[in-house]
Amino acid sequence: MTHQSAVPDKKRSPLHTAGSLLVVVVMNLVMFPLIVLMTVMGIVLFPICFITGKIVTGWQNDRVMRYFVWVYGRAWMIIMSPFVRFKRTGLTRDNIDMPCIIVINHLSFFDTYCMALLPVSDIAFAVRSWPFKKLFWYRPFMRLANYLDLEAIGWEGTLRDSRRVFERKGAILVFPEGHRSSDGKVQRFYSGPFRLAIETGVPILPLCITGTDVLLPPDRWWMMPATVCLSILPLVYPREFIGDGETAHINLRKHVRKIIAEHVEKMRKEAA
């Protein structure tokens, strides 16, 4: 079974036939309004859902909020299902040890929604400041979920807030490239999540995603049908690199980037 995330550039657009053009037009005319409607309804119904969820589960506020973020992503995938296929490889609850630091390659704005493919919901995203500043309709929910605004809190704040998540068996999710890839290939990684792993002893969980660059790449505002695949790799334990001294986090970073880049390329080739 194959997917479309790595088709050659000349095949990335389906607009070469009238039928394909019609599908793309219908997809965008239907999906964008549905996403907006779902978001507005979610905001309106949120107070009731949140209070009910907290009473039923007894969880702390941030964990309840993260669960509803996960549900929101699931709802998005349901409404997108007529045009987007979603595949998971190796993603079972038994394969994810919590706490962990999830690192994943970054292709599209919709990558964050696709994290609802994960079988766990207690995940705090660690992101740069722009989502907090520009996505104002999401800002209160990101704050309630205790997402990490990396530029605002700095390294000490990141370390402090991450430890709080880890103490409660949650996960931190980071896009270590820091930005979306423009060509589908894995770019350079920043050191933050790997330094965090070394200092806390929490393992790295590498994830690979393909297909969202077909769905909605960074240089295009309209969506196209695609197959999105999310694949898990084995945990990488920081204790295996601690003996490297001051270069431990650098070596860990290089190792994780290498295995993610190789697996993403393998996924792309299998889809070609």
Would you say residue 190 lies in a domain?
yes
Distance CA 69, CA 121 (A): 8
Alpha carbons within 13 angstroms on the beta-carbon side of residue 120 total 21
Start-end of H helices in 104-247: 130-134, 139-144, 150-167, 192-200, 212-215
Q: What is the pTM of this model?
A: 0.90
Q: How many CB atoms lie within 10 A of CB 200?
A: 16
Residue 255, in any domain of the structure: yes
Amino acid, res. 15: L
Domains held by the chain: number: 1
What is the per-residue pLDDT for 85?
95
Q: What is the CATH number of the domain that holds 162?
A: 3.40.1130
Q: What is the pLDDT along the chain (272 residues), one digit of tens a residue?
A: 333 333 334 344 445 565 688 999 999 999 999 999 999 999 999 999 999 999 999 999 999 999 999 999 999 999 999 999 999 998 888 888 899 999 999 999 999 999 999 999 999 999 989 889 888 889 999 999 999 999 999 999 999 999 999 999 999 999 999 999 999 899 999 999 999 999 999 999 999 999 999 999 998 889 999 999 999 999 999 999 988 888 999 999 999 999 999 999 999 888 77
Phi/psi of residue 177, nearest 5 degrees: -70, -25
pLDDT for the residue 93? 84
Q: What does the pLDDT read at residue 16? A: 52
The Cα 21–Cα 67 span in angstroms is 37
Range of the domain at 217: 9-271
Q: How many residues are recorded in the chain? A: 272
Residue 18 lies in a domain: yes
Question: Considering the domain boundaries, does residue 224 fall inside one?
Answer: yes
Identify whether 108 is part of a domain: yes
Is 1 among the domain residues? Answer: no
Q: Are 6 and 88 in contact (CB under 8 A)?
A: no
